Structure 1
């Protein structure tokens, strides 16, 4: 059995005829072609499928799309605006916070919900907000650094000030507070890390 649904996804109304047993994750990927939202555990434990519904993080593998009619759904494809990366995407790329990139879409959306609700989160608040998003590649430090750096830039209107040094891996405000030494390698650029494409053109 199928049902006719009207979903508002990334600011656009989308009509879809979907099987009633499908989750929001499956409808986004299979019916709407938005493959940035990832299949992970499908048990609500890994956070790879995280999307925002009315600005709040939701596990799309446990959500029925019919519950989301009349609400605003945001996927990773909706973060960039006007061809410009969201400050979170830019910071993740600069600091090498993505490796394989599979968990990155969920991380970005959880981080966006945090920063929009709390523009000046502490390091512990960032950790708590991302606690439901698991990453098997990194030690999480660069991810936390990237969220802090993005928050700083968003408070400045989304752009670094002239006096701000070019971001380097391990060189965010959080890393300096933790006493981590600055590294001597050249600054990372968007697209340098293997998983950076997941923030702009997520793999299926």
Structure 2
């Protein structure tokens, strides 16, 4: 099973990616993990990405897509994978489709975790971290910042959802409830794939 997991910040993608991938017996692959592996492994792509990251710039699509393509060509991904955090744009989705075609495969399903904005703001602005023995709120988890992050996500992802819907791959899943309830909905949707 080859799956892409979409959803806004705070929807539980990271948690669900690990659980669903485990149930499917495929690797959960996040772009963050791919970047870290390439940078720490000092690959050519990792060195290119590091130049942009060190400057505080976004890594260009061609480098990101090349790293993802390399990761999807690894033996553990032959039986399938769950992509978390990629693609983020239509251009990346089109490049992913081309890369998978070169590998002789394609996506089976795109799962989108859906949560009302107010619930996302509540979840994200309620997060705390321990700093110098005190629980503090991260700057990017303040309600006004969360709303901005959600707006940016909406601008980028709404077209992506439409793209995958047009391809007949998109299934939306309500991501409110217990972790187990959301997982059950996701697995039921994949069972229909």
TM over 0.5: no
User: What is the TM-score of this pair, normalised by structure 2?
Assistant: 0.25
More helix by share: 2
The higher relative CO (CA closer than 8 Å, separation ≥ 6) is in 2
User: What is the TM-score of this pair, normalised by structure 1?
Assistant: 0.24
